[in-house]
Amino acid sequence: MDKRTEASQAPVPFPKTPILKTPTHVQGLDDILRGGFPAKRTSLVTGSHGSGKTTMGIEFLYRGALAGEPGIFFGFEESEDAIRGNAATMGWDLAAQEKENKFFVMQGQLDADTINGDFSLKPLLAIISGKAKAMGAKRIVLDALDVLFLIYPDYQRVRAELHILSEWLSEEGMTVLITQKPSENTPRMQFQDFFFSMSDCVISMDARINQQVATRRLRVVKYRGSGFERNECPYVITDQGIRLIPISRISLRHKAFGARISSGVLRLDGMLGGGFYRGSCNLLAGEPRTGKTILASTFVQNACKMKDKVFFLSFEESQEAVIHNVAGVNVDLKKYYDSGLLHFQSVIPESMGAEEHLMQIIAETEQFKPQHMVLDALSAVERFGGKQAAFDYMIRLLNFLKERGITLILTNQTSGNDAQLEITGSGVSSLIDTVVFIRYKQEDGELNRTIQVLKSRGSAHSNQIREFVISTSGLDIIDVYVGQSGVMTGTARKIQEAKDDLESRKRNTAVTIKTAEVSRLKALAAAENERRQAELLTAETVLASLQLEVDINQQRVEELNVMRDRNLISQPVKKPSRKRVNPKKVTGNG
């Protein structure tokens, strides 16, 4: 067999075709479902009493109607008036949509005492079909459908009616949402497993109590032909409907840092390499009363001076207490609150669950649209319901703010034990961009503060420990001063500085005296050098004069010799006399 024959007989890959989806328009749910419920198929929502199943069904239909897709709500537990009333509490005007023929509420409450076992779903489903065709319905919710099947005396009849329902759902081609309570381990409730198997998408909603705090969790159990967020996701039921914040939706959408913004303390800006980055997450950690809130408030004051809007979230002090306390250190927040640039929210952590806290902050943030947020304090978040609740809250809040480029200033109370210091206290250290650590330093009967930058992502920063001072004039950071025992603060620093200043002045005096002595010696040496130079000049002059005389005399001798030589040549030579000499006359002694 040649290669062409092999190629012709090779299996042709079947192209992947994504399933069509119908958006729920429920905030966060479409991200978890990666698009919405499967279109023209059946989805199941199961959950206990109070978990929000009916609310999800109504919201699915109402927001679909607003988007131009009519829907039908068929409820088997609550009356039509109750459905409309519950919707109105969330601002959903069902009557207006009903007038436009985009929403229809059908009451399916059945009395088991008056309906015998011969009751069939076919007439009921025919009514729904007729209404769906008349209004062009694309969506339908069958709320508490499990209640309907409780009227049948035996399971065989239940199975027969379930098959009728299944065929009807397939033929209608609408996007169907069924709600039911969790199955009980009884033969009569086995039909609920049928809902599970016939549904292409199954969602479990759970309301629970965690450390006396009510929480809600949603999880997608299955979704045929589609990926989905598999982890549990916290949710809340607000006055605007169900709200979810899945991590998967926002974890990769963080904005890049913006320009620098001052912390409000000039020397801290220097330690940070120019201040905090806009859109960054910054932590002010330290022991109680070290000045974390004051430092955060100083940042707020500086930001508001620049006409930026700031959202101040306090879990430990009231708005009035924060404004009053920081006013004592020359930080005026009241005028910015009055001007509308500063928005406060002061709540007790135990007042609601983590999800309610989170959704409330998100709603207020979206309404106020701040450039910066202060959360005081991170250490209080565990009071929402434990470490896991704190982690869920913080990871979603931080991602939400980073996605929108909002600068966050966190404060966190630490134990002061360096060996076991966990800066954030909630396991979100990887999302913290800058950590400023303030702690006490006790020496010589005083308690002072030091400040240092432990971390500053994407920025060169100081590695020094500085003294942090709080006074009525505001905050200040004093230049680093290191003694033999390390960084010195307070009175000990002042005493040591005075000692060092005295020693410095002594050294300067000694240098001045020695400089004068050197100058004097240099002057004496210069004078002595001038005197010797004069003597040398005189000696050189005398030597030159003597040398001149020698030269002149030598020249004279030479000239005489020349003249003598000339005379000898011009005169005849005389012969010597031959006269005899008397020896006696010569000696003179006769």
CB 301 within 8 A of CB 330: no
CB 412 within 8 A of CB 377: yes
- Give me 97's structure tokens: 């949509």
- Give me 54's structure tokens: 């009916």
442-462 confidence digits (pLDDT tens): 877 788 889 999 989 888 898
Residue with tokens 């006013």: 327
Residues facing residue 220 across a β-bridge: 203
196-243 confidence digits (pLDDT tens): 888 999 999 988 766 566 778 899 999 999 999 888 888 888 888 998
CB 315 within 8 A of CB 348: yes
Q: Nearest to residue 121, comparing CAs of 156, 148, 144?
A: 148
496-533 CB burial, b ≥16 within 10 A, e <16: beeeeeeeeeeeeeeeeeeeeeeeeeeeeeeeeeeeee
- Vertex 25: Cα angle to 22 and 28 (nearest 5): 110
β-pairing verdict for 260-261 and 276-277: antiparallel
CB atoms within 10 A of CB 80: 15
- Asked if the domains at 21-247 and 260-480 fall in one CATH topology, the answer is yes
| 10-residue mean pLDDT series, the chain (590 residues) | 50 68 94 94 91 94 95 90 92 94 84 60 87 93 81 73 83 90 60 81 85 79 92 85 72 76 94 94 91 95 97 94 95 96 93 83 93 93 82 86 93 66 62 90 81 89 89 86 64 72 83 88 88 87 86 86 75 56 50
Residue-level pLDDT at 544: 86
Residue-level pLDDT at 188: 47
Total length of the chain: 590
In sequence order, which residues have a C-beta less than 8 Å from that of residue 328 and are 6 or more positions away? 472
Domain residue ranges in the chain:
21-247, 260-480, 495-543
3-state secondary structure 258-306: CCEECCCCHHHHHHCCCCEECCCEEEEEECCCCCHHHHHHHHHHHHHHC
Q: In Å, what is the CA distance from 46 to each residue of 199, 220, 352?
A: 12, 10, 24
Residue-level pLDDT at 213: 66
Residue-level pLDDT at 542: 86
Rounded Cα–Cα distance for residues 296 and 282 (Å): 10
Residue-level pLDDT at 487: 65
Taking 3-state DSSP, the helix, strand and coil percentages for the chain, each rounded to the nearest 5, stand at 45, 20, 35
111-129 confidence digits (pLDDT tens): 555 555 566 778 888 888 9
pTM confidence score: 0.68
For the domain made up of 21-247, give the CATH fold.
Answer: Rossmann fold (3.40.50)
Q: In Å, what is the CA distance from 226 to each residue of 146, 251, 446, 566?
A: 26, 21, 65, 141
CATH architecture assigned to 260-480: 3-Layer(aba) Sandwich (3.40)
Rounded Cα–Cα distance for residues 546 and 554 (Å): 12
Rounded Cα–Cα distance for residues 334 and 293 (Å): 15
